Amino acid sequence: MKKLITSTFAVVAVLFAFTSCNNSDNSSKSGALSSNNAEKVYVAPGEHDSHYAFLSGGYSGNLTVYGLPSGRMFKEIPVFSQFPTSGYGYSEETKPMLNTSHGFIPWGDAHHPDISQTNGEVDGRFVFINENNTPRIAKIDLKTFETTEIIEVPNSAGNHSSSYVTENTEYVVAGTRFSVPIPQRDMPIKEYKGNFQGALSFISVAPETGNMDIKFQVLMPGFNYDLSHPGRGKSHGWFFFTTYNTEEANTLLEVNASQNDKDFIAAINWKKIEEYVNNGGGTMMPANYAHNVYDEVTHTATSTMKKEVRVVNPSEVPGAVYFIPTPKSPHGCDVDPTGEYIVGNGKLSANLTVHSFTKMLDAIKNEKFAGEAYGIPILNFEDVLAGVVEQPGLGPLHTEFDGKGNAYTTFFISSEVVKWKLGTWEVIDRKPTYYSPGHLAIPGGNSGKPFGKYMFVMNKITKDRYLPVGPELEHSAQLYDISGDKMELLLDFPTHGEPHYAAAIPASIIKDQSQKIYKLADNKHPYAAKSDADTKVIRNGNEVHIQMTTIRSHFSPDNIEGIKVGDKVFFHITNLEQDFDVPHGFAMIGQNNSGLLVMPGQTKTSVWEPKEVGVWPFYCTDFCSALHQEMQGYVRVSAEDSDTPIKWSLGEDIE
């Protein structure tokens, strides 16, 4: 008991020391706000940041784009949540993007973005990101910075160990955090052990288009599959997933899922399983899941309900799945750029454990097994151990690499980031971060070629870093210069939502590919009006379709009569501008979904159901020219039983 009390006081003392609100370092000459550091993050007016950073929006459901080193947020990309700024998820064209087997889900919990790769290097074509709650994977096209595809993941719950990509973007994975009955059925929760399973989904990505499809799911034992990373270089063809709750507890997990001294890293030989599947292996299982695709030609999304998925039991493919013991309740699972080292970050472990891929292959070849779990061989811990970083900090979570032989790990409890050396396992440097960090990111850090100039940490607790604005401040990110032997804290910047992981890339790889002109001739939307001469208003029963154009600085038509109470009015608005930086907005009084932001060359549709007679205005919401205020129009709404005819005009009175 005396030892327990002493240990408790020691932990409390450490927590107090590392999470105190003392900000005295900010006023020192070496602090993050010193003039020297301010110069390092300063981007002069008219100049561009050197890097893009894509941060998950957490419970916002979206993806945010920041510049580095400035820390300026440039855009919030709507992905899994409705977004009134642009009308995403409200417009008729984008509503299908949020369809699921559970119906229309207008929000999400976005965690882990990853950038597409070619030959193990980030190529800047796509960003993939997972949705944790209603399991989904989305693809964002970096030519347009728009979400173009979302696929739901069946047999899954808590889609957490995703969305990481293989080194040629052959696959993006979606591992389940929560094991569930597969197929779902009514059963007592207490019968969890031995009856629940965890599905690890491998989603193929078409090389040219990026189109996604669930190739196969590996049905694993009912553990929690927390995070994952692909092999690369020598370990390309493998994927590694951390597990916890190998106890298969179903209640009070903070106690009951922390009993085992070691949990596992699941090593999956996806190349072997892929070969098996290509030869007809696996079983087609009934499933119900949505596949939503946005067509950039018709400017319209479609949602298709899929009815089956191919599943593979590890016992069907001997030699494809192994368990690597790793201490204790591991969270992060990270693979260095060479593909040799696999880092298991045990949240409850005093040390950092690093496994060797070469030793793993040798242990498999020589059948150095410690036993098995549900028929899956468990490798001997000592036989796959590369090394241990001794007592580097408290509460390790995630590790990234700089491509120079160094690793950087966040420590949640001791609120610090620690730099250590691969191979020698020695701690080189440590710096405090404020406070309670989760993920960190180095541009290209999850690839075979990191760009090791900057590293930024995403903290879970902000406390006193910013002006108080009531409960729940924006979270804090902190940017470090890692180009030298020692890390140097350069900048605090707030982040929207609750960022989890982030992916970053040199701006030069993306910005020249960004689409600048959106040709009106390419618009194949069925209700597009490509000139004022194409505008029209057509009644079909109580539906009225208005094909409208917008250009600086008017709508055509701008006066419409013949609309009646009870009508369902579809405004199909085409933006005649083609320069990427000239969107137009549209808002109608009484519109009970959202206004629109219509991008250049694009057609978008909003529905309005008038409830009262009168003359009601609409207007442009996005400042577009000196005559923006004049960009407006009127809709006359008559009684439901009136005989007012449909008429419209631009620049003349309606006769």
pLDDT at 246 over 70: yes
Name the domain count of the chain: 2
Phi and psi at 329, nearest 5°, equal: 55, 60
Beta bridge partners of 40: none
Residue with tokens 């719950």: 157
Here the tokens at position 632 are: 């407006």
In 3D space, the residue among 353, 310, 299, 359 whose CA is nearest the CA of residue 530 turns out to be 299
Host H or E run for residue 324: strand 321-326
pLDDT of residue 472: 81
- Burial class from Cβ neighbours inside 10 Å (0-12, 13-18, 19+) for residue 12 reads exposed
Asked if residue 335 is part of any domain, the answer here is yes
Same domain, 561 and 482: no
> In the structure, what pLDDT confidence band is assigned to residue 624 with cuts at 50, 70 and 90?
confident
Confidence at residue 24, expressed as pLDDT on a 0 to 100 scale:
38
* Tokens of residue 543, six digits: 């539906």
* Domain presence at residue 256: yes
* Mean pLDDT of the region 440-448: 96
Site of tokens 């193929």? 204
**Domain match, 232 and 334 both:** yes
Residues 334 and 434 in one domain: yes
pLDDT in tens, 355-366: 999 999 999 999
315 within a domain of the structure (yes/no): yes
The residue length of the chain stands at 655
Which pLDDT band holds residue 473 (cuts at 50, 70, 90)? confident
Across 11-15, 221-225, 273-277, 651-655, least confident range: 11-15
Q: Say if residue 163 is preceded by a cis peptide, omega within 30 of 0.
A: yes
Residue 477 falls within a domain, yes or no? yes
- Whether 501 and 583 map to the same domain: the answer is no
Same domain, 486 and 539: no
Give rounded-to-5 percent helix, strand, coil for the chain: 10, 45, 45
DSSP-assigned beta bridge partners for residue 616: 635
Under a CB-based contact definition with an 8 Å cutoff, are residues 416 and 371 in contact? no
Integer-rounded Cα radius of gyration of the chain:
27
pLDDT at 225: 97
Distance CA 645, CA 642 (A): 9
Q: Which pLDDT score, from 0 to 100, does residue 35 have?
A: 59
More confident residue, 592 or 342: 342
- Out of 513, 536, 554, pick the residue that ends a domain: 513
- The answer to whether the Cα torsion of 72, 78, 84, 88 is positive or negative is positive
CA–CA gap between residue 127 and residue 117 (Å, rounded): 10
What average pLDDT score do residues 312-319 get?
Answer: 96
DSSP of 605-628, one letter per residue?
Answer: EEEE---S-EEEEEE--S--STTG
Both tokens of residue 619?
A: 């207007």
Distances (CA, A) of 376 to 177, 317, 334, 442, 497: 19, 11, 22, 34, 39
In one letter, which amino acid is 183? P
234 — alpha (psi -120 to 50), left (phi > 0) or beta? alpha
Average pLDDT of the chain, as a whole number: 93
pLDDT at 392: 95
pLDDT class of 655 with cuts at 50, 70, 90: confident
Q: pLDDT tens across 71-115, in order? A: 999 999 999 999 999 999 999 999 999 999 999 999 999 999 999
Label residues 200-239 b or e (16+ Cβ within 10 Å = b). bbbbbbeeeebebebbbbbbbbbbbbbbbbbbbeebbbbb
CATH number at residue 529: 2.60.40.420
User: What is the C-alpha separation between 440 and 504, in angstroms, rounded?
Assistant: 11
Residue 21 belongs to some domain of the structure: no
Segment 627-650, tens digit of pLDDT: 889 899 999 999 999 999 999 998
- The CATH number that applies at residue 481 is 2.130.10.10
- pLDDT above 70 coverage of the chain, percent: 95
Q: How large is the average pLDDT for residues 229-255? A: 96
Annotate 9-74 with DSSP letters as a single string: HHHHHHHHHHH----GGGGSTTSTTSHHHHHHH---TT---SEEEEEE-BTT-SEEEEEETT--EE
Q: How far apart, in whole angstroms, are the C-alpha atoms of residue 571 and residue 125? A: 33
How far are the Cα atoms of 102, 151, 152, 644 from residue 305, in angstroms, in the given order? 11, 10, 10, 42
Residue 586, SS3 per DSSP: strand
- Looking at the structure, tell me whether residues 554 and 643 fall in a common domain: yes
Within 80-167, strands assigned E span 99-100, 103-104, 114-118, 121-131, 136-141, 146-152, 159-165
180-210 residue pLDDT tens: 999 999 999 999 999 999 999 999 999 999 9
In the structure, what pLDDT confidence band is assigned to residue 17 with cuts at 50, 70 and 90? very low
Backbone angles phi, psi at 36, to 5 degrees: -60, -45
d(Cα 384, Cα 396) in Å, to the nearest integer?
20
Q: Kindly state whether residues 465 and 609 are assigned to the same domain.
A: no
CB 585 within 8 A of CB 599: no
The answer to whether the beta carbons of residues 169 and 117 sit under 8 Å apart is yes
Looking at 513, 545, 572, which one is the last position of a domain?
513
Residue 232 lies in a domain: yes
pLDDT of amino acid 379: 98
Domain assignment of residue 350, yes or no: yes
Distance, C-alpha 129 to centroid of its chain: 3
Residues 132 and 168 in one domain: yes
Q: What is the pTM of this model?
A: 0.93
Name which residue leads in pLDDT, 275 or 590.
Answer: 275
pLDDT band per the 50, 70, 90 thresholds, residue 34: low
The string of pLDDT tens digits covering residues 124-158 is 999 999 999 999 999 999 999 999 999 999 999 99
Domain range enclosing 636: 520-649
Residue 31, CA distances (Å) to 430, 459, 475 in order: 15, 18, 20
**Same domain? 419 vs 474:** yes
285 shares a domain with 194: yes
The residue type found at 386 is A
Q: What is the DSSP letter of 102?
A: T
Residue 367 has phi, psi (to 5 degrees) of: 50, 50
User: Does residue 587 lie in a domain region?
Assistant: yes
* Residue 547 shares a structural domain with residue 490: no
Name the one residue in this structure whose structure tokens are 């030519």.
143
Task: Give the C-alpha distances (Å, rounded to integers) separating 329 from 63, 223, 227.
Answer: 29, 11, 12
Percentage with pLDDT > 90 across the chain: 89
500 and 614 part of one domain? no
pLDDT score, position 627: 85
Calculate the alpha carbon distances from 531 to 548, 603, 606, 650 in Å.
9, 12, 20, 13
Q: What is the pLDDT of residue 628?
A: 85
Q: Are strands 559-564 and 632-638 parallel, antiparallel or unpaired?
A: parallel
Beta-strand ranges (E) seen in 416-465 are 416-421, 427-432, 437-441, 454-459
Q: Which of 478, 513, 548 is the last residue of a domain?
A: 513
Instruction: Label residue 59 left, alpha or beta by phi (over 0 means left) and psi (-120 to 50 means alpha).
Output: alpha
With cut-offs at 50, 70 and 90, classify the pLDDT of residue 11.
very low
On the question of pLDDT at 444 being above 50, the answer is yes
